[in-house]
Amino acid sequence: MDYSPDLEIVDGVTFELRPRRRTPTRKGWVCLRKNRAFSNRYISLASEFAGCQMVEVGVDQGGSTSFFTKLLAPRKLVAFELSDQPVPRLTDFLAIHDPEARVEINWGVDQSDRVAVPRILDRAFGEEKLDLVIDDASHYLEPSIATFEMLFPRLRNDGLYILEDWSNDHLLERGLRSSLEADPEGSSVKKFSSLVSGDQQTKTPMSVLICKLVIAAGYHPDWISEIRVTDGFCEVRRGPGEIPPDTPLTEYIGTLGGWVFEGRES
């Protein structure tokens, strides 16, 4: 069967949607590692966040950074990437499409670094509030919580915090279970055994964060005014209430909210 690329053209640049690949199929295209549902959602938000001040956590090969640069034309985009190796295809893209250097990539910065991340943001934005934050980095629970605690209070009222791929662990489990049922004596047994044994950086799925944010929207609606959750995509709207810097997630959910998860995160 011939491959039919899924393309999105933004301001003259052709983005090829290839969620599971790192390179485009044709020279001159940009590989965007997002599915159609994700890209369509960002396109629907483009008018609201055009010219925004934003933070992107997790750069990978730079397709998303390139996409946001063209789609949103941000006034300032600060990105963080754990790898300390700059990606030439991204730096080359920005040299052409971002001559005013509105996009700043910070290579070799851990998303949970509570010293480096705030320092970089203070330098880049000063006292100005953020409009948009996108976390598409580790997809591990604890680093994602640390990033949320640092960045969410910096959003303006009605600003948006987006968590991508929060359901990955559950999709993996479902896929492995299906493979196990189809081939109970095959290689999938070993894969599933590795999954359930906790052979990962964290034993607790990132979906716990999504559940806590749902509770937070009930306990602190002045902090979180709205949550929109779809398959692997979670949007958290900032409320008008004042949130002290680095407020721990436990303060968002209260004592009863903490009880809901007590003894379940191991």
Rounded Cα distance, 146 and 107, in Å: 18
Cβ atoms 143, 234 nearer than 8 A: no
Rounded Cα distance, 35 and 9, in Å: 15
| pTM for this prediction | 0.91
In a domain, 157, yes or no: yes
In a domain, 91, yes or no: yes
Cβ atoms 163, 56 nearer than 8 A: no
In a domain, 30, yes or no: no
Q: Identify the pLDDT of residue 189.
A: 56
Q: Identify the pLDDT of residue 45.
A: 98
Burial (0-12, 13-18, 19+ Cβ within 10 Å), 99: exposed
In a domain, 90, yes or no: yes
What CATH number did the domain enclosing 83 receive? Answer: 3.40.50.150
In a domain, 98, yes or no: yes
Task: Convert the pLDDT of each residue in 144-165 to its tens digit.
Answer: 999 999 999 999 999 999 999 9
> Is 266's pLDDT higher than 50?
no
Instruction: Provide the mean pLDDT of the chain.
Output: 92
Q: Identify the pLDDT of residue 184.
A: 67
Question: What separation, in Å, do the N-terminal and C-terminal C-alpha atoms of the chain show?
Answer: 45
Domains identified in the chain, total number: 1
The residue-averaged pLDDT of 30-40 equals 97
Q: Identify the pLDDT of residue 201.
A: 46
Containing domain of residue 223, as a range?
Answer: 50-166+206-261
In a domain, 18, yes or no: no
In a domain, 199, yes or no: no
Q: Among residues 127, 131, 73, 60, which one has the least CA distance to residue 100?
A: 73
The residue-averaged pLDDT of 247-254 equals 98
> Is 196's pLDDT higher than 70?
no
DSSP letter assigned to residue 154: G
